[in-house]
Structure 1
Amino acid sequence: MIQARFDDLLQARGRSLYWLAKEAGVAYTTLWKLRAAESQGISFGVLDRICAALDCAPGDLLIRAPDARKRVRKRH
């Protein structure tokens, strides 16, 4: 599962998710869904605007974490 690290990046900058929505020109609900890991994806354009607003690279924002909802089958 890919997760967005909004909380860490915004806290380090003293900013809010609402500020990011306005600064990046992205709907607050879109950011909220990304933050809550309830989104299925993100366009490169939106990712670029978020990274520009936060002055970060995509790798600073996105992390890969184990998905507790899925079981992965091992191949033998």
Structure 2
Amino acid sequence: MKVRIKKILEEKGRSIYWLAIQCNVTYKSMFNLVNNKTSSVKFMLLERICNVLEVTPNDIFDFEN
């Protein structure tokens, strides 16, 4: 499972720092999530990210074998 947040941010012209502020989390936590360096994400944070970026969870995750 890969996180596509970085690509979405690039498409919208936004930064990881901007998203971290909007979601009220630390930059380091958001950086790790965006760069696939975490093994889990809380549903509350996922919901915030989706609302801020105006996407669905299906847009954020990509399944790879």
TM-score, with structure 2 as normaliser: 0.88
Q: Report the equivalent of 2:18.
A: 19
CA RMSD of aligned residues (A): 1.1
Gaps in structure 1 of 5+ consecutive residues: 67-76
- Which runs of 4 or more aligned residues in structure 1 lie more than 3 Å from their structure 2 counterparts after TM superposition? none
1: CA distance, partners of 2:12 / 2:29 = 20
Question: Between Structure 1 and Structure 2, whose CA radius of gyration is higher?
Answer: 1
Gaps in structure 2 of 5+ consecutive residues: none
TM-score, with structure 1 as normaliser: 0.77
Q: Report the equivalent of 1:59.
A: 58
The answer on 1:8 being equivalent to 2:7 is yes
Query: Does structure 1 retain, via aligned residues, the 8 Å contact 2:46–2:57?
Result: yes
> Per residue, is there more helix in 1 or in 2?
2
Note the C-alpha offset of 1:43: 0.7
- Matched length: 65
Identity of aligned residues (%): 31
Note the C-alpha offset of 1:53: 0.8
